[in-house]
Amino acid sequence: MGRDVYYRVMPGGPLRGRIRVPGDKSISHRAIMLGAIAEGVSHIRGFLEGEDSLATLHAFRAMGVEIEGPEHGDVRIHGVGLHGLRPPEAPLDLGNSGTSMRLLSGLLAGQGFEATLTGDVSLSSRPMRRVIDPLTRMGARIKATKKGTAPLHILPVDRLDAIDYALPVASAQVKSCVLLAGLFARGKTCVTEPAPTRDHTERMLRGFGYEVSTDGARICLEGGGRLRAANVEVPADISSAAFFMVGASIAAGSDVLLEHVGINPTREGVINILRRMGADIEVLNPVEVGGEPVADLRVRSAPLHGIRIPEDQVPLAIDEFPAIFVAAACAKGETVLTGAAELRVKESDRIQVMADGLGALGIDARPTPDGMVIRGGRLRGGAVESHGDHRIAMAFAMAGLVTEGPVTIHDCANVNTSFPGFVPLAANAGLGIEQQ
């Protein structure tokens, strides 16, 4: 392990100004993957140059795909077609990135060559049976540890067969994994979701000229088609913008304009939840860019109150709960979250780690098996552990806007997985943050 990169945040604020957060992580991963297996040269603009999406990019380079860039978010991918990937010479190291591992396992399951997927300590403890099970049913051969974790060894098979799969968890990663494997399978692969999850894979496949049918919760595609190169414009990541939405809401006198944020309806839970808590969020200049809805978000500070978070919003805000918990800690009254057990298997156990951190700052935050009960109050200064989880680190950085004393946040290096440049951008907007 490297040296502890930690943040020190001095109380203060407000947050003000125009802020452009980096490109959407989910869309950046998918643009590399689909560009690589398309025919022709795809051009991506606004690509997230964070460690997670770069891990995906490096994996495809290691499988023989020529990729130019990234340079200021510009990437050109010389697609090799559905059957043009070459066997990697070494294990593909996917770092901290669950999306890379789960989507790649689907994309590689039917390649006819062997590949090994590895990751860091956090990724190596995350559940992979959720992708191994459906892929095995399609005819894939994947070896994992006894616990069902990485490293994943994907062994060559002659062919995959389509399946009709009802997802046991609402997971866009599992849905996307099965659909990507379905591109290489004989027949029509269908997945049915228990609740709507982010639909970037479906949208982008269509953008690359591949037919995907959606009928309510059921999404289907036929294997054996072709993808045509496409240009992808990646909007700013709503999951990164969420920290500023919360920061601006809780720090009196704040007024920020978050520019060009992706507001896909399967990602907008954070806006709905914060608004229900009393947040002042205006959606301005809505446009559609490359099949994804985008808008500017103006957020001004407002008094927040506790709510019972509707369970149907959970998958639509799944990455934003660290930030939402900080909003709840600053709200009047109690906030209750249920139906969110998935948070325990993210980059960290986000229920436990957030409850511990909020507790260290003097907040009554009671973890439950599938959520949390948070009683809003005054936050004192103190030290919190992020457990190497990028979103926990950034959520507590925003808490520092309203704490009574300085906040120290440990283990922040992984902020670079999703939000390179967070510290200078936040400091520029008014957060008293320094990286040590």
Q: Is the dihedral of CA 146, 150, 156, 159 positive or negative?
A: positive
User: Quick one: 27 or 256, whose CB is closer to ligand S3P?
Assistant: 27
- Gap between the Cα atoms of 94 and 54, Å rounded: 9
User: Quick one: 42 or 176, whose CB is closer to ligand S3P?
Assistant: 176
Residue 116 token pair: 């090994």
- Phi–psi pair at 166, nearest 5 degrees: -95, 115
Give the list of residues 6+ apart from residue 387 with CB closer than 8 angstroms, or none: 348, 349, 353, 411
Residue whose beta carbon is closest to ligand S3P:
26
- CA angle (381, 239, 29) in 5-degree steps: 135
Query: In angstroms, what is the minimal distance from the CB of 350 to ligand S3P?
Result: 10
Question: For ligand S3P, which stretch binds (CB under 6 A), given 57-65, 170-178, 299-307, 419-427?
Answer: 170-178
- In the shown chain, the binding pattern of residues 91 to 110 toward ligand S3P, with x for contact by CB under 6 A and - for none, equals --------x-----------
Of residues 333 through 372, those in contact with ligand S3P by CB under 6 A are 342
User: Quick one: 170 or 365, whose CB is closer to ligand S3P?
Assistant: 170
Q: How many CB atoms lie within 10 A of CB 326?
A: 32
Query: In angstroms, what is the minimal distance from the CB of 391 to ligand S3P?
Result: 9
User: Quick one: 172 or 229, whose CB is closer to ligand S3P?
Assistant: 172
Query: In angstroms, what is the minimal distance from the CB of 99 to ligand S3P?
Result: 4
The active-site residue, picked from 93, 120, 319, 411, is 319
List 42, 56, 173, 403, residue binding ligand S3P (CB under 6 A): 173
User: Quick one: 127 or 278, whose CB is closer to ligand S3P?
Assistant: 127
* 122 counts as binding ligand S3P under rule CB under 6 A: no
Contact 354, 321 (CB under 8 A): yes
Question: For ligand S3P, which stretch binds (CB under 6 A), given 6-14, 76-84, 172-180, 421-429?
Answer: 172-180
* 53 counts as binding ligand S3P under rule CB under 6 A: no
Query: In angstroms, what is the minimal distance from the CB of 338 to ligand S3P?
Result: 17
Cis peptide, bond prior to residue 70, ω within 30 of zero: yes
Residue 347 token pair: 């980059």
* 26 counts as binding ligand S3P under rule CB under 6 A: yes
* 193 counts as binding ligand S3P under rule CB under 6 A: no
Q: How many CB atoms lie within 10 A of CB 143?
A: 11
* 198 counts as binding ligand S3P under rule CB under 6 A: yes
Residue 319 annotated among the catalytic residues of the structure: yes
Count interface residues toward ligand S3P (CB under 6 A): 11
Residue 373 token pair: 């009960």
* 411 counts as binding ligand S3P under rule CB under 6 A: no
User: Quick one: 15 or 270, whose CB is closer to ligand S3P?
Assistant: 270
Query: In angstroms, what is the minimal distance from the CB of 278 to ligand S3P?
Result: 26
- In the shown chain, the binding pattern of residues 275 to 314 toward ligand S3P, with x for contact by CB under 6 A and - for none, equals ----------------------------------------
User: Quick one: 26 or 240, whose CB is closer to ligand S3P?
Assistant: 26
List 277, 318, 373, 429, residue binding ligand S3P (CB under 6 A): 318
- In the shown chain, the binding pattern of residues 231 to 270 toward ligand S3P, with x for contact by CB under 6 A and - for none, equals ----------------------------------------
List 93, 296, 319, 320, residue binding ligand S3P (CB under 6 A): 319
User: Quick one: 254 or 348, whose CB is closer to ligand S3P?
Assistant: 348
Q: Which residues are catalytic?
A: 319
* Contacting residues toward ligand S3P, per CB under 6 A: 26, 99, 171-173, 176, 197-198, 318-319, 342
